[in-house]
Amino acid sequence: MGISFSEQEQQFLLSTNDLLYVFEITKNNYLKHVYFGKKTNDVVAFENTNVGDPWIKQDKEERFSMSGFSNEYGAFGIGDYREVAIKYTRNDGSRNNNLKFKSYKIVSNKTKLNELPSLDGNNELIVTLADKDVEVDLHYSVYEAENIIVRHVAIRNLGEKIILNTVNSFNLDLKGIHDVYSLSGWWGHERQIIKHNVNLSILNIDSKRGLSSHYQNPLLIIADKDTSEDKGLAIGLNLVYSGSFSFKAEHTIYDDFRVVGGINDFDFDYPLEKGKCFETPEVVISYSNDGLNKMSQQFHDVYRHYLINKNFVFKTRPIVANNWETTRFDFTEEKIFNLIDKAKKIGIDTFVLDDGWFGHRDNELSSLGDWYPHKARLPKGLKPIIDKCKQNGLKFGLWIEPEMISEDSDLYKAHPDWALTSPDGIINLHRHQLILNLTKPECFNYIKNIINSLLDNNDISYVKWDCNRYYSEYFADNLKNDEQASLFYRNMVATYKLMDEIVLSHPRILFEGCAAGGARFDPGVFKYFSQSWCSDNSDAYSRQFIQYGTSLSYPLSSFTGHISVCPNKQVGTITPFKTRCNMASLCSTGFEIDLTELTKEQEQLATNFVSRYKKISPLILSGDLYRIFNPFEDKLFAEIVVSKDKNKAFAVIANQKLDRKKNVNLKFKGLREDFNYFIEECNLVKSGMQLMNEGIKIYFKEDYDSYSFTLSKK
């Protein structure tokens, strides 16, 4: 189990409960990928395809063509026509990257990346490849119980400067045509599950926008045609990176299926000086031969135990009231006080003051960078609001957007050169704002200090860290010519450093991530943000798709979903209040609605929701998720989350339009057949066997109707 090396076969073996992953040192010292799949004692190695392509002339060996070779880390320039994992240019312009096996070691501690977030772990195989003065370390860590392998690559330059043109975190070579799933979408409809069939073509799933983006997520799933939630192959590949990324999946005429992934090489060139090392982001690979659901559960477990901010990952999350959808920029101290009074009545834990509390920010046009209270709106600063929260037994949370600057701000007046713009005077605005150049130490330190003193001098227990625009500037006046084409990457690294120095230096504050909704929802931010706003679309119907897609690799507690007003402000849908409560129960939760406007009945439902959420919260934090109905295919949503000991569970089923489906049979999953469960909402006891095999009959009464079930072992 774990990691081993067979001297006799010259093979590296990585094994988990279900997976075997084998690669070997060939006679000519290349590293050959041999097997990745179901555990077996009978490994059948991939045949090298002997094609009519150029072969490498070697002294004593037979013909050896790289284009049909399953290279464990495919390199450019030696006859491989597929997408490659690495390409670098030497000082003389040559690009023959002939990486051969040099050495290996197996260690009991996993490497922590220097500049990027990475998982904890307790084993690692490091295989070093070398090409003259360039050395490439391939790192592999194994999480046996979870069927997960984590990989990254470090490139060391011992000779004259080289330029890294492509540095993927991995390539994975399989055989045959596969389906590939991506989480694609747009603002308000993030992470929709899209199925692609890669057949004699190349699929590129990427972001070029500097953030992982609303449009594509750094998750790619390789599956078979008939893979379902409970059956078949599902290999999930998730990058621990929040910037521009790409996954390429390629199927060739020789039936080779290669996937590469990592930092997007669209406008990426990174000079590596003598003696320097470059580390790629990690990729987390979850293997399941029992369908997508198991693949997801494995991701959830590994993220909760080895990546997500340790201070909060298993801590009960506060139920928040956020004023954004209620007031936007138009609030007074009095309005906020009224919201806090109502929040207390309903049992809410934390009030979060969103955008508009600083500088002279009355709309989107100004003040980012001026992180001191709005004089007209909050003449006595934040203190009266914080005091009001305290008097009501609530905690206080605050919205910030530290990576950004408005042209109309004191900060911009003092330091226009801190904003990323271009030397020819073309300024691309997005939401009227610019991005700060955090690679400039003076800018970095200013932002770090002003935000840290804001957090140190006010009693703040929750921060919503927003980021509302994409990158579009390809120039920074402090970087050398040949450093410009890695600016997006460098600013991402500086942003992680800023998070290190703000978030990690405030271990008692819970940080929530946000990026115009869900434009930076990826494992890279998990180290800092225990939860992230997964979409600006709070409509309970749209959330069926968003939350279902997001759960493919991200645990329920890592995404936030709030109850909001109807007609919904983003899409106009009208859903029952109880359905809004039910959908918002399957994540970290809160309210985005004017609490002072609730009807008596809604207020009662909200109060019930809060007290029920407090009861089920351990399940949301650490339970196993089972997806039952898929809104993309079944026109119905149903999920159940079950405690590890199977004693407790919580399920939600939600309909779409009533004319599509009125009666359904809900068969639960994940329970113990021999346990009896009391279902609170129905006041009845049924065995796990009955619930899973016979199910219970559901009658929907109106559009977007829903039901929830709280189960406990009798």
Residues of this chain that bind ligand DGJ (CB under 6 A): 324, 354-355, 399, 466, 468, 514, 516-517, 533, 536
How many other C-beta atoms can be found within 10 angstroms of the C-beta atom of residue 232?
17
Alpha-carbon 336 to chain mean position: 32
Give the integer Cα–Cα distance in Å for 538 and 560: 10
Q: Annotated catalytic, 466? A: yes
Which CB atom, from 369 or from 517, has the smaller least distance to ligand DGJ? Answer: 517
Task: Report the candidate in 588, 671, 647 with the shortest Cα–Cα distance to residue 320.
Answer: 588
Give the integer Cα–Cα distance in Å for 300 and 552: 9
Distances from the Cα of 519 to the Cαs of 189, 298, 524, in angstroms? 11, 24, 12
Q: Residue 684: what residue type?
A: L
**Which residue among the candidates 256, 466, 539, 705 is catalytic per the annotation?**
466
Residue 467 beta carbon to ligand DGJ: minimum distance, rounded to whole angstroms: 9
**Which residue among the candidates 131, 206, 370, 536 is catalytic per the annotation?**
536
Which CB atom, from 296 or from 537, has the smaller least distance to ligand DGJ? Answer: 537
Task: Report the candidate in 103, 144, 101, 142 with the shortest Cα–Cα distance to residue 124.
Answer: 142
Q: Kindly compute the dihedral angle of the four CA atoms of residues 20, 21, 26, 31, in this order, to the nearest 10 degrees.
A: -170
> Crossing angle, helix 487-502 and helix 441-456, to 10 degrees?
30
Residue 419 beta carbon to ligand DGJ: minimum distance, rounded to whole angstroms: 18
Residue 188 beta carbon to ligand DGJ: minimum distance, rounded to whole angstroms: 10
Which CB atom, from 75 or from 515, has the smaller least distance to ligand DGJ? Answer: 515
Which CB atom, from 16 or from 406, has the smaller least distance to ligand DGJ? Answer: 406
Which CB atom, from 156 or from 431, has the smaller least distance to ligand DGJ? Answer: 431
> Residues 668, 628: contact at Cβ < 8 Å?
yes
Residue 299 beta carbon to ligand DGJ: minimum distance, rounded to whole angstroms: 24
Distances from the Cα of 702 to the Cαs of 566, 576, 609, 659, 706, in angstroms? 15, 9, 20, 9, 9
Cis peptide before 555 (omega within 30 of 0): no
Give the integer Cα–Cα distance in Å for 315 and 620: 11
In sequence order, what DSSP letters do the residues of 132-159 get, joined into one string? TTEEEEEEEEEETTTTEEEEEEEEEE-S
Give the integer Cα–Cα distance in Å for 490 and 439: 7
Q: Residue 457: what residue type?
A: N
Give the integer Cα–Cα distance in Å for 50 and 327: 67
Residue 468 beta carbon to ligand DGJ: minimum distance, rounded to whole angstroms: 5
Which CB atom, from 367 or from 630, has the smaller least distance to ligand DGJ? Answer: 367
Nearest residue to ligand DGJ, scored by beta-carbon proximity: 355
Which CB atom, from 576 or from 590, has the smaller least distance to ligand DGJ? Answer: 590
Give the integer Cα–Cα distance in Å for 520 and 404: 15
Residue 117 beta carbon to ligand DGJ: minimum distance, rounded to whole angstroms: 22
Please count the residues of the chain.
714
Residue 354 beta carbon to ligand DGJ: minimum distance, rounded to whole angstroms: 5
Residue 381 beta carbon to ligand DGJ: minimum distance, rounded to whole angstroms: 20
Residue 352 beta carbon to ligand DGJ: minimum distance, rounded to whole angstroms: 9
Give the integer Cα–Cα distance in Å for 3 and 5: 7
> Crossing angle, helix 383-391 and helix 333-346, to 10 degrees?
20
How many other C-beta atoms can be found within 10 angstroms of the C-beta atom of residue 42?
5
Which CB atom, from 187 or from 678, has the smaller least distance to ligand DGJ? Answer: 187
Reduced 3-state DSSP string for 186-229: ECCEEEEEEEEEECCCEEEEECCCCCCCCCEEEEEEEECCCCCC
Residue 493 beta carbon to ligand DGJ: minimum distance, rounded to whole angstroms: 24
How many other C-beta atoms can be found within 10 angstroms of the C-beta atom of residue 494?
20
The DSSP secondary-structure symbol of 622 reads H
Catalytic center residues: 466, 536
